[in-house]
Amino acid sequence: MTLGVSVVIPAYNEGDGIVAVLDRLFPAVESTLEVLVVVDFPEDSTVPVVRAHPKFGEGLQLLVNTYGRGPAHAIRYGIDRASHDVVVVTMADGSDDPRQIDPLARLVERGVVVAAASRYSSGGQQVGGPLLKGLISYSAGRSLGLLARVGTQDATNSFKAYSTEFVREVGIHSTSGFEIGLELTAKARRLRRPVAELPTIWLDRTIGDSNFDMRAWIPKYLRWYRFAFGRALSLEDVSTQAARIATLNQRSATKNGKSS
């Protein structure tokens, strides 16, 4: 039986830049594939480009997110509409290697709930990107892997495959930024569900500008980071604590918005 994979790509005004990503993705994946490009509004410059792509309507779909603006809402919206048992989140900037989608998906098929593409495990590498951001990400990933034993050296990387059933079971509480990858890894650890990783080579985007606001999102990452440590929890306890973190993150976002 052929493995089915739903790939969710949050996009924000990528325009023609997404063409190369889609052109590499479809030939690279052997699994039965659906690709869900998720935008926040119909006027996004990504929309006409996706609709003009040869694969549109043949495995490629365009979704307009109605949960709220930002990558967290876009990712959750896409996962909620995924039709396969494995869902992979990858970026629209070409930084991720689509040839790893099949190996990551097979790890989920074998029973892990989160399969991470790791820049910081043996054989992995990060090429380019801001130095400070890379150092913070590296320190967080390595310390979570070694001290919290989350199952990966790169919990903050967004490029991951998930059990769709697991994501829908635990829910996504993040409402902004790209902290979903860390959130779901932390939840898997506190529930003592299996997490695995494969090394990846991440390349910084060469087209367009990154939308990652490090100053605004670091406090949110830190709350999920701390959550990864601790004793095993029940699903109810994970949900309660995650909701508390989400509330704190929303208050922080509101405060930052008022002060900016």
So where are the chain's domains? 4-259
pLDDT score of 141: 92
Q: What is the pTM of this model?
A: 0.91
pLDDT score of 63: 98
Cα angle: 140, vertex 234, 165; to 5 degrees: 80
Q: 């930002």: which residue's tokens?
A: 70
Kindly give, in sequence order, each residue whose CB lies less than 8 Å from that of residue 167, ignoring residues fewer than 6 positions away. Answer: 79, 87, 184
Q: Residue 3 is encoded by which pair of tokens?
A: 């493995």
Domain at 4-259: CATH architecture:
Alpha-Beta Complex (3.90)
Sign of the C-alpha dihedral computed for residues 102, 106, 107 and 108 taken in this order = positive
pLDDT score of 195: 98
pLDDT score of 257: 57
pLDDT score of 260: 32
Rounded Cα gap, residues 63 and 170, in angstroms = 23
Kindly give, in sequence order, each residue whose CB lies less than 8 Å from that of residue 255, ignoring residues fewer than 6 positions away. Answer: none
pLDDT along the chain (260 residues), means of 10: 92 96 97 97 98 97 96 96 98 95 98 97 89 86 96 96 98 90 97 98 71 68 96 98 94 59
pLDDT score of 259: 36
pLDDT score of 119: 95
pLDDT score of 112: 98
